[in-house]
A and B are shown apart, each in its own frame.
Chain A
Amino acid sequence: MFDPFNRSSSANASRTIKGWVSSALRLSEDHTLLVTELKCTEPDCPPIETVVAVLGPGGQQHQAKVHLAINEITREEALKLALDLQRLMAGEKRDNREDCDGHH
């Protein structure tokens, strides 16, 4: 059941996840990580998911999701999310290169 009265803080868990993801991706200081738990309200969606996003200095945005609460995310899960993010970031680099090749 939706419980609006029970929103607990997960700042420590959030920090830990950011640490795992950041070191796995070897992110520099100019990248920011966002960890947020969404209580999904659509009928066909799982009731809870956590979004981990990387925001790059040039406005790049990548996100990966897992159907777990923040407090349930283990190191293993965090590394899977990091892997997803790495693929997205690599894809962006490749796209950018192709764009450049196309232009020149």
Chain B
Amino acid sequence: MDITNGKVPVTVLTGFLGAGKTTLLNRILTENHGKRIAVIENEFGEIGIDDAIVINSDEEIFEMNNGCICCTVRGDLIRILGSLMRRRDKFDYILVETTGLANPAPVAQTFFVDDEIREQLELDGIVTVIDCKHVAMHLGESQECDEQVAFADVILLNKTDLVDDDAVSELEGRIRSRNALAKIYRTSNATIEMEKILNVNGFKLDKALATKPTFLEPEYPFEWGGLFELNGDSKMLVLQDGPDPKMNVLFLRAPDNEAGSITKLAETAVRFFSNNKKQISPGEKIDSSDQLYELSLPEEGSKTFEVALKEPGRYVFYTQHLPEEFSLEICTTSGTIEPIDFEVYDAGHTHDSEVSSVGIDSDGDLDEEKLMNWLGTLLREKGTDIFRMKGILSVAGQNERFIFQGVHMLFDGKRDRPWGDEKRTNQLIFIGRNLNREELVEGFNSCLAKKPHLSFH
């Protein structure tokens, strides 16, 4: 029997028509894994197994609260699961195949809204099959396609034999930027080991973030980094009028005589850009430290800030906007100092989609009350846009890890095992639409009970 905690695991198969869902389904059913599988089919496929329990169903959306996606489930599934559970001795795994145009949220939520269903069934994972050759026309264009990718625990990039490797890699990058949590496998003819798609524990709290989310390059909160050789004379940062009345700036000491300092320090700079900002006005001082400065640039005309050096040497300025937008210069009394090297960064505008992942990775303990307030407000205000979230949190005064996972506003969290010798840390990931990275990081930051040390990806 493949029943864990007395619950029957359920895998949901999604993917556009023609992606290879039925091929995968047939593969699962013919594979010698010893599971007796009941299949709930939404799409007319050709299931080639006679003794499998196969139930056809038509998608029935059931809204418990008019128009609220978070309170929407699948009526057909509830009925079928109810009747299936009356003969639960006949199977030990359930597969739900959705149509290519199905929104995964109501399917997933079906397994969380009714406590009797929760007691008997466990949503194990959402597996999304993608046709590498044709997905490009849907990704970023079709809401259903984006959501099927965003909700997935496992993504099969199928039909890789029909496209070249570079195209698959580019596609994988686009998919990863939408969903940093999912395991992505490249397949042709939906050939894959069963253990990669069944019993993946995608919604199991204890396994939340068991594997660290994979992020591509971090999204940089700055657009420019410039390396300067500065001697002991007094230095000034001078800006002219620009498109924004404020700008974030970080000033870091760089190792002398070492190539590539800007790139090497960029990851540190990303972390420091999440620190609390110190607002300063023209005439005030910028130190080389982990302090993030918000330059206040209200008045017209030239604005000058003092640059304080610890010692002569190499320093990097990371600026939120490009220097040319503000005619930014580092000056001494005798003239302008040119950077000896610089890098331009894409400041978080690299996604080709409004669907994305935001990860927060932070040391420090959280104030439980502030955390609850923040999460409560976040789910209330943004629950519709947050598709999935997972996290492991370090709460001040608690010896145990706090773990959570959620689908839209359906939130499940509990105290887990003690931290023991493990380093206390916070890891959260949100996948959703129109997520505001800065707002999420700032909100989280405000819950820290101690000085924050944050990085975000």
Which A residues lie at the B interface, using CB under 8 A? Answer: 1-5, 7, 9-11, 13-15, 18, 29-30, 32, 34-36, 38-41, 51, 53, 55, 57, 59, 61, 63, 70
Cβ of B379 within 8 Å of any chain A Cβ, yes or no, is: yes
A49 to chain B, nearest CB (A): 9
Q: Bound state CA distance, A87 and B119, in angstroms?
A: 31
Q: Give me 13 A-to-B residue pairs in the complex whose CB atoms sit less than 8 angstroms apart, sorted by A's number.
A: A2-B375, A4-B413, A5-B414, A10-B115, A11-B119, A13-B115, A14-B116, A29-B83, A30-B83, A32-B79, A57-B79, A59-B75, A63-B64
Known: A34-B114, A35-B115. A2 touches B380 (CB 8 A): yes
Contact B60 A11 (CB under 8 A): no
Q: Contact check: which of A3, A11, A18, A53 meets B372 at CB < 8 Å? A: A3
B87 to chain A, nearest CB (A): 12
Q: Bound state CA distance, A41 and B16, in angstroms?
A: 33
Contact A34 B78 (CB under 8 A): yes
Cβ of B113 within 8 Å of any chain A Cβ, yes or no, is: yes
Number of contacting residues on B, CB 8 A?
Answer: 35
Q: Bound state CA distance, A30 and B76, in angstroms?
A: 12
Q: Contact check: which of B79, B383, B404 meets A55 at CB < 8 Å? A: B79
Q: Contact check: which of B64, B115, B404 meets A38 at CB < 8 Å? A: B64
Chain B residues in 8 Å Cβ range of A34: 62, 73, 78, 113-114
Chain B residues in 8 Å Cβ range of A13: 115
Chain B residues in 8 Å Cβ range of A36: 64, 113-114
A48 to chain B, nearest CB (A): 13
Among A32, A39, A40, A57, residue most surrounded by chain B Cβ atoms (within 10 Å):
A32
Nearest A residue to B75, CB-CB: A55
Nearest A residue to B402, CB-CB: A5
Q: Contact check: which of B58, B113, B115, B376 meets A59 at CB < 8 Å? A: B58
Contact B62 A61 (CB under 8 A): yes
Nearest A residue to B80, CB-CB: A32
Chain A residues in 8 Å Cβ range of B83: 29-30, 32
Cβ of B305 within 8 Å of any chain A Cβ, yes or no, is: no
Nearest A residue to B383, CB-CB: A41
